[in-house]
A = this chain, B = another copy of it.
Amino acid sequence: MRIVVVGTGAWGTAFAKVLRDREHDVFVARRETVDDAPYDEADLVVLAVPSHAFGEVLEHVSGRAPILSLTKGLDPGSGARLSTLVRGRPVAVLSGPNMAEEVGDGLPGAAVIASEDERLATRLQEAINSPIFRVYVQTDLTGVELCGAAKNVIALAAGGVDGLGLGDNAKAALITRGLVEMARLGEACGAEQETFAGLAGMGDLIVTCFHPSGRNRRAGEMIARGASPDKARAAIGQVVEGLTTAPALRDLSRRIGVELPITEGVCSVLDGHPLHELAASLMGRRPTAE
């Protein structure tokens, strides 16, 4: 396949290597110079750009090749799933527990490819799967995209637990409730519950929350230790999707009437509410049935 990868961040770069290892003809474009990419000859366009840039980059992608989105987030303006911004051509999403540095180092991993076009998903599976990077087909596009967006917000909270030094028991409890929260949102949006127990759901969530170098986890840790969100973002020096996604997800949940207490808590801390107070009020609530 002739494949254009847009995005030269850690994941775009690592994924281009996955594609080259399968002997595809890969052209990598910076999103700032996306107009120069040879789209008319491409069989596939892979978008690995920040969520806030997804819609704009898309307008510069000419031709009719299918889009494969690697971006995990929501459209910040509308709260829409990113794949819904793609018009007039097939679209698929790849997601899963894929820390870019490990994939780039050739360590084994697994991902799902979701699309409403099952033939496209299967074709991409055949083109990308290898013994080292295993690809499973998923039909629940909505669920896979919501997982990819929401897990970064939960990871900010998990990093907050790390930053406060509350330990792994508390962090595991938070992540567990985080997945319940993600699945509740998914249910309201028509996603399948199984997706949240799969690679794009639980799998990606736990690696994002536990891997030491995860950006969202690290940002949450810094903020819990007193850094402002802007300072944490600057210190990490790469996109921290959870910071963009948290308010978009909160707004979406309020619009559709779903309670997301962890996401609300993250947003209130990002808005300047003291984290210690929030943690204390959560721990003081009367427990009931699980």
Contacts and interface: CB of A to CB of B under 8 A. Distances in A.
Interface in A154-199: 166-173, 175-176, 179-180, 183, 197-199
Contacts of A198: 176, 180, 290
A98 interface: yes
Interface in A267-290: 283-284, 287-290
Interface of A: 96-99, 102-103, 105, 107-110, 112, 125, 129, 131-132, 134-139, 166-173, 175-176, 179-180, 183, 197-199, 202-204, 206-207, 210-211, 283-284, 287-290
Contact of A137 (B129, B131, B134, B288): B288
Contacts of A135: 287
Count copies of this chain in the complex.
Answer: 2
Contacts of A183: 197
Contacts of A96: 173
A288 to B, nearest CB: 7
Given A135-B287, A138-B290, A168 B202 contact: no
A284 B133 CA distance: 10
A138 to B, nearest CB: 5
A168 B136 contact: no
A203 B172 contact: yes
Looking at chain A's contact residues, is the secondary structure mostly helix, strand, loop, or mixed? mixed
Nearest to A106: B167
A206 B206 contact: yes
A136 B210 contact: no
Contact of A289 (B99, B138, B167): B138
Given A176-B203, A283-B134, A290-B199, A169 B112 contact: no
Closest 10 CB pairs of A and B: A97-B172, A172-B207, A107-B167, A109-B169, A176-B203, A136-B290, A102-B167, A110-B173, A168-B211, A172-B203
Contacts of A102: 167-169
11 contacts: A96-B173, A107-B166, A108-B167, A109-B170, A109-B173, A110-B170, A136-B287, A172-B207, A175-B203, A197-B197, A206-B206
A125 B125 CA distance: 49
